[in-house]
Structure formats: C-alpha cells, structure tokens
Amino acid sequence: MALRATPAMRRGTPAELMQGFSRWSASVRARTANVSVAPGEAPVSNVPKKAFEHWRNSETGRWNPPKYSLRRQAELVRAAYAVDQPELVKSSPKYARYMHRWEEMPNHEVFTGFPAVAWPQLSAEEDANEARRIARTFSEHGPYAGRSNARMFKGKKGDRASRSRQRLVEENMRTMDETIQEWREEKAAARAKAKPVSPL
C-alpha cells in the first residue's frame, strides 16, 4: 500500500520546487507552439502563459488551465526568492501580490535593550510639592472629583462600620477599669445573696 504524501513532501524544498519548474519549462509539452494569438497569425510557444495563466489552444480553440494553481504559484514565488531566482516567476499574478506585500511590510528595528533613563533628583521641598500636586490631581480628576467628602462610595460593610467600631473599642478600653469594678461588685453581691443561711 502506497503512503500518501504529506503536504511537506508535496511542497518540497525551495530548490526542489524550482528544479521541477525548470524541468517542466524545458519539456516538449511546455514549448510546443500551440498558444492562440491574433487571427491569421501563427501559434506561438508561450511557456510563462502556460505556466501561470489560462491559455487558448490554437488547434482546438479551447481554453486550458495554467500548469500551476494560484496556491502552487505562491509557493513558487516564495521559493524563487529563497533561491534568488525571482526573474523566473515574474509573469505570475502572485509575483505582483508578493512584491506589493513585501514593499508594505514594516521595517522593524532591532531591539538592543532599554535606554538608560536619568531620573531627576528632587529636593525635599520639590518632592513635597510633587506629592501635593499628585494628591490635588487625584482629588480634582479622580472618581471623587466634584463629590462631597461626606458622601463617599458605598464600599463594603466592614469598611463602612470600621470607624464606628473603632470608636466603640476605644470607649470600652477607656472605661475598662470602671467596667471591671462594676463586674466584681455585681459578682460579690450575687455570691452573698446565694450564700445559704445556716439553721440555728
């Protein structure tokens, strides 16, 4: 059982593609004078037309497809450039398209590393002024621009209750001694009330 050729095997290397094109161009079938021209004129042998365009047979009057499809022509054009023989495929319509894309291709600069940046050294006063300028910019152009400070975004519940919770904790810590004393007195009174009376 014969193995089916893979796309890479069918394409071949650029040199192999150009060798196949050269062999076909030198064959008798390609050089036969049977391309129809103007009425009354003798048929000619037009190898580029047979290879890349539809051509009309002078004997039968029928149109024949080109030897190479447009996809194969694109491969031939790329192969011709790879082996430095573009003059062999200049009559192909894919050659003009390839040249157009080649001319419009941007020229990329080679990256050689980031340039050295000399950051300005600010004094303490200039640094403070810059910090104030940034803060003013954010207050004027940030999400709170034009809003009252009393009305902020909703935020999360924990964030909204954090200040009141902090105030409550501070108040409890400030009165902690009085709270402990009250707790001890209440505990002593409860013990005294619950103490059983001995019968006499």
Percent with pLDDT over 70 in the chain = 82
Which H or E element spans position 160? helix 157-174
Work out the number of other CB atoms within 10 angstroms of the CB of residue 129.
Answer: 12
pLDDT digits 0-9 by tens, 154-196: 778 888 788 899 999 999 999 999 999 999 999 999 988 886 6
**Sequence-distant contacts of 11-19: CB under 8 A, at least 24 apart:** 11/75, 13/79, 14/78, 14/79, 14/80, 14/82, 14/83, 15/79, 15/83, 17/75, 17/76, 17/79, 18/76, 18/79, 18/80, 18/83, 18/85, 18/88
- What are the residue boundaries of the structural domains of the chain, listed by start? 9-104
Task: Confirm whether pTM is higher than 0.85.
Answer: no
pLDDT digits 0-9 by tens, 26-82: 999 889 998 998 888 899 999 999 999 999 999 888 999 999 999 999 999 999 988
Q: How far apart are the C-alpha atoms of 99 and 86, rounded to whole Å?
A: 10
